[in-house]
Amino acid sequence: MIAIEKRSHTFALSEKTLSDYLNHYEHLGIFDSKESGQEKQNKNLLAFVVYQKVIDEAEIIHLVCDAKVQGKGIAYQLMQTLIQQEKNITTWHLEVREHNLSAIKLYEKLGFKLVGRRKNYYKNNDDALLMALVL
């Protein structure tokens, strides 16, 4: 997971932070596998999402799609699966860097709407855009 994180994010999480996320929050991944006869071999993690549920709401804590497969609908497929799987969640929340246009486009495609902004939120002074999906 840390390899995908480092390949895929300009501002990658540290190994410790990623480990803490995985130990404290729920997560879901999407894998690729190579077929060899009846056996699946070499399962490769393509993307994963870390999230937290509170009653009927959830927050996307972190989403990573391997740089090798970005732009191929993998993150969209993962998010759709997550939203469909968590049937009791009526509102999804997330924050995204204002300059992460590909992520913003993905979230808008999923139906997320801009609901707020945190000025100079990140270390490089980027704003965080707050988005929500109300089902």
84 band by pLDDT with thresholds 50, 70 and 90 = very high
**Number of domains comprising the chain:** 1
Q: What is the pLDDT of residue 46?
A: 95
Strand order in the sheet with 39-54: 26-36, 39-54, 57-65, 91-97, 128-134, 113-118
CATH code, domain with 87: 3.40.630.30
Catalytic residues, by residue number, are: 95, 107
Query: How far is Cα 110 from Cα 83, in angstroms, rounded to an integer?
Result: 10
Q: What is the pLDDT of residue 7?
A: 87
The pLDDT tens digits for 7-51 are: 888 888 999 999 999 999 999 999 987 655 444 445 789 999 999
The pLDDT tens digits for 102-129 are: 999 999 999 999 999 999 999 999 999 9
**Domain assignment of residue 59, given as a range:** 2-134
For residue 67, which phi and psi values (nearest 5 degrees)?
Answer: -55, -30
